[in-house]
Each structure stands twice: as structure tokens, then as C-alpha cells.
A and B are shown apart, each in its own frame.
Chain A
Amino acid sequence: MKKLFSCLGAVLLSAGLAATASAQFPDRPVKMIVPWAAGGDTDNIFRPLAPLLQKQLGQPVVIANVGGASGTVGAREAKNSAADGYTIYAVHDYIHLVHYAGLTDISYKDFEPICLVSATPSVLTASPKTPWKDWAGFVADAKKRPGEITVGATLGSTSHIFPASVEKAAGIKLKYVSYDGLAPRMNAILGGHIDLTDSNLTQKGKVEAGQLKFLAIASEKRDPDMPNVPTLKELGLNIVYEVVRGLMVPKGTPAAARAKLADACAKATAEAEFADSMKKQGTRVSFLNEKDYAAFLDKIDGENKAIMADLGLMKK
């Protein structure tokens, strides 16, 4: 009985508070939806961010991994959450890709951008069992054996789009094999079951141990930690491919809550501690505020649409 009363009380209280909630936002834990499993690349980037956001917001930021169906389950969960600022959605380029692949009707337009957090340059990586020493060797071999060199990729996702853009720009033909996620791709490439894959600088240790070969990095400039790896630009391919990750909230979230979150995000991403943990993820901090992030999203949405159409992966 007592429980019932206190629960009724809570309803009345929350109704009464609704008007003033925005002023005091946040007054309870904030849930951050990461649409992939814990320990994945995306999770590894947002997990160190959560405590830093928490410090700014003064309330716990709890990560909820809502995985499944190429991240679309999490997207739906985020879209259907109450637009009160207590649910934030951690996102990367996949939101554009799955939309154009026809996997979901949800698009980035169903959300309000908060901030861009990070950018992870893709690195074209080769198996130790391949005969090539460098990029030139690879291209020469690929031209000799069109359609025979195998690439492990999550079909229709960033790990597929990146080698596909390379394939197109270099005028070669590759064969794709479905390997979902970086860990299975690493097993396969170390065993020599695939020749190539998209990875990132987190695999640096294996390259130094001679287990893997980095052929080229898709960033603007060489990475200071791996100065021997050439950029695709140097090699004459105009490709910069970075997986970018940011935070969004469901459409209709009050402006005051958004401002508070955006402010917290700006301060959290500026901390040296965050830069350090990003470095371990082969990633650089790349902050954009609400307005710039919105413009940036419009831009990459167009680019992704073009690539998907190019690859014949677009759902009509």
C-alpha cells in the first residue's frame, strides 16, 4: 500500500516538475545508447567519454549497449525514447549506410545533433601470408589476378565502403568475404584465410610484431606513431576515409537540455584524459558543435548516398 502511495506521489511530483525540469536538467541518470556490443570499436570510444560527461553533468551517464541487426535496433530504441535529454544516442557513419541500404527507415534526420566526438582513420591491412611488401606490390598483383584477392568486410558497412572506394580509385577488382566485426577479421587475416581488410591503428602492435602489414592509411597526413605507413593521398588516390562518431538526441528534445549536453560534450572532449584514451583507440578527438555537426552530417550523408549507389548496394 505504501508503495502504491509513493508511486502515485512520484507521478504527481514528476508532473509538477516537468515545467521546471529543463532548468534543472539533469536531475537523474542519463542513458547513453550505444547501438553495438560492449567492447566493440564504438563502445571503446564512448565508454571513456561517459565518466567525463558525468563530471560535467553531475549525474551518472550509464551506457546501454543496444546491439543487433547492424545497429538498427539501437537506432530504433533511441528514436522511440522520450525526447527529454535523458537518452543520448552514440552514432557513427552507419546511420547513413543502413538507411540507404534499406535496412531501416530511420535516418539521421530523426535526431538532433549534439556534437561530433572523434574520427578514426581507416588503414588498409594485409595478411602476413600475402607476398606483397607494400602498396605497389599489392596493386601490381591485384591487376594480375583480378577478382582473386579476398577482402574481409562487414558488407554494406564502413569496412566494406572503404576498400570498395580504394578498389574503384585504383582500378582493381577485389573479392569480398563477409566477416562481421574487427575481431573475426583479425582471426581470419592472421590465419591467412583472407588477404586484406580494413582495420585501424589499434592493430599497431601486431604490425610491429610482424603479424600484419599496413599498406596505406586513409588520413590527410601520416600518423606520427606509424610514420612508415603512407597515406592514400601520397599514393595518388584522393581518398580520406575516417569513421566519425558523435552524439545525438531524439528529435524534439528541449533546447535547454540540448545546450547543456552540448556544453558538457565540448568540455569533456577537450580533456587531455580523453585524448589519451582516444590515442589508444587509433583515433583522434574531432569536436564539432551542434551547428557544425549538423552541416557535417548533411555533407557525409550525401557522400555515403553516392558511394552506396556506386556499389549497387542502394535499395531503390
Chain B
Amino acid sequence: MRLGRDGIAGLIGLAISLLLLPQAFGLPKLPIVPVGPGFYPTIVLVFLGTTSAILLVQDVLAQRRAGPAAAETPPAPPRAYGLVAAAFIVVAGYIALLPLVGFRLATVLFVGAFQYLLEPPKTTQQWILLTAIAIATSVVAYLVFERYLLVLLPRGAWTGW
């Protein structure tokens, strides 16, 4: 049996709902609430399970009808999924650094790294521009938020800054 994109999504949805349902039943009840904290989650999980199951069945039927030949999708424009993964990693790195080195430093590094990732600078001029944008973003954000609007930004545990 072949599964398409929807089939896999349906399978995951079904698995999640079956996995969580027993937990919903096991939740402790409060004496003054006629239905326990598991009542509503049960409804939601049944809803999720049902829609997932329908999606799965629809996909299995569609795959069978179409046969393996039609599984070839029309050529999609090339997408840079590697770049997306790298971009997510850079963001994750930024978020991990925030509580360690503080907003100001982490933001310079992040804005620089993200620009480098999308459009690696080639000339010295482009490098200067990249650095300037990175530093400016950090400085302006700090001044506007923490100094002017009194919105506190993360401080670094390592740097205290």
C-alpha cells in the first residue's frame, strides 16, 4: 500500500489521538465540576482522530485509483530546502544564545549570520554593509525598546549584559 502526503499526515493525526485518548480518561476529577478535565480533550481527540482517519482513507483510495504512474507530480520549481533547514538552525542558535550572551550581542551575530546565509557577501563593501546592518539592528532595537519604550530585553547569564 502506498501512502501520499495526506495519508502520512492522517496516520500521524490518528496516532496522536489514539496515544492521548487513554491519558484524557485518566485525568483526575474535581468534586465540584460535573465533568472532569478530560471531557473536552476527549471530544477534541475524537474529532482529530475522525478527521485523520477520513483523510487517511481518502488518500489510500486516491492512491489506488491513480496507481503508481500518476504518483509523479508535475515538476515543481526547485526549492532550497537545505537553505530552509540552515535558516532554522541559525534561528535556533540565536534563541539558544539569547539567555547566555544577552540580546545585544546575540542579535548582531544572528542578523549577520542570517544575511550571510541568504546572500553571502563577495566584496569588502558588501561585508561592511552586512556588518553595519547587523550592528544597527541590534543597537536600534535596544535603544527603542529597552531605553525608550521600557520593554525589557533578554540579558546574558554569561555576560550580564
Are chains A and B touching in the complex at the 8 Å CB cutoff?
yes
- Interface set of A (CB-CB < 8 Å, partner B): 3-4, 7, 10-11, 14, 29, 31, 60, 62, 64, 155, 176, 178, 312-313
Asked if B66 is an interface residue, CB under 8 A from chain A, the answer is no
Give 27 pairs: A residue, B residue, CB < 8 Å, sorted on A.
A3-B104, A3-B105, A3-B108, A3-B135, A4-B105, A7-B101, A7-B105, A7-B159, A7-B161, A10-B159, A10-B160, A10-B161, A11-B158, A11-B159, A11-B160, A11-B161, A14-B160, A29-B152, A31-B152, A60-B150, A62-B152, A64-B152, A155-B30, A155-B33, A176-B32, A312-B31, A313-B30
Collect the chain A residues with CB atoms within 8 Å of residue B152's CB.
29, 31, 62, 64
Interface centre among A3, A62, A312 (most CB of B within 10 A): A3
| B33 contact from A4, A10, A60, A178, Cβ within 8 A | A178
Collect the chain A residues with CB atoms within 8 Å of residue B160's CB.
10-11, 14
Collect the chain B residues with CB atoms within 8 Å of residue A176's CB.
32
Collect the chain B residues with CB atoms within 8 Å of residue A178's CB.
33
Nearest CB in chain A: distance from B140 CB, A = 14
Collect the chain B residues with CB atoms within 8 Å of residue A3's CB.
104-105, 108, 135
Collect the chain A residues with CB atoms within 8 Å of residue B161's CB.
7, 10-11
Closest to A15 in B: B160
Closest to B159 in A: A7
Collect the chain A residues with CB atoms within 8 Å of residue B33's CB.
155, 178
Collect the chain A residues with CB atoms within 8 Å of residue B32's CB.
155, 176
Closest to B32 in A: A176
Q: How far is the CA of A273 from the CA of B138 in the complex (A)?
A: 39
Nearest CB in chain A: distance from B41 CB, A = 16
Closest to A176 in B: B32
Collect the chain B residues with CB atoms within 8 Å of residue A4's CB.
105
Given A3-B105, A14-B160, A176-B32, 18 new contacts (CB under 8 A)? A3-B108, A3-B135, A4-B105, A7-B101, A7-B102, A7-B105, A7-B159, A10-B159, A11-B159, A11-B160, A11-B161, A29-B152, A31-B152, A60-B150, A62-B152, A64-B152, A155-B32, A312-B31
Q: How far is the CA of A31 from the CA of B159 in the complex (A)?
A: 18
Nearest CB in chain B: distance from A173 CB, A = 11
Q: How far is the CA of A10 from the CA of B160 in the complex (A)?
A: 7
Collect the chain B residues with CB atoms within 8 Å of residue A7's CB.
101-102, 105, 159, 161
Closest to B138 in A: A3
